[in-house]
Amino acid sequence: MQKIAPAVRKETKRVLCITAIGVVIMFAVFAGLHFAMPGKVPFDYRVILGGLGGGCIAVLNFFMMGLTVQKITSMEDEGMARQQMKASYSRRMLLQILWMIAAIAAPCFQFVAGLVPLLFPSLGLKLLTVTGKLNT
């Protein structure tokens, strides 16, 4: 197991915070919509499980990408580095697709609550960049 670089640790913590905030906001939206339309929008354990599962997958995806970037920056063979990055991308996409299937198919998850958190890291980082809180 390789040592986790401080930059990977720092950015993963940032993404964890962004995702957690996004999930909490999503829960609040679900609760508000459920209050307004209780027959149409659920707010039960399935929403909570979906949101937590989706949030974990989103953060794990980012962390795995960070570890891959950390690994390939020390490689001298550009072709091998490119191959490692492609393999990492494929594994991370497979992980997300398997989660999407589980979130949609398993009755213990509310599928929207399980899928929406996958968008939070990207949206949050873009928002931080636009507002000047994060330098690219």
| Mean pLDDT along residues 40-46 | 96
Sign of CA dihedral 56, 61, 66, 70: positive
Query: What's the pLDDT tens digit per position in 65-98?
Result: 999 999 999 889 999 999 999 999 999 999 999 9
Listed by start position, the domains of the chain span: 6-130
Nearest to 62 by CA among 23, 131, 14: 14
Q: What is the pTM of this model?
A: 0.91
Query: Does residue 51 carry a pLDDT above 60?
Result: yes
Q: What is the pLDDT of residue 2?
A: 64
Whole-number average pLDDT of the chain: 94
Q: What is the pLDDT of residue 74?
A: 86
Q: Give Cα separations from 19 to 2, 16, 61, 72 (angstroms).
A: 25, 5, 12, 26
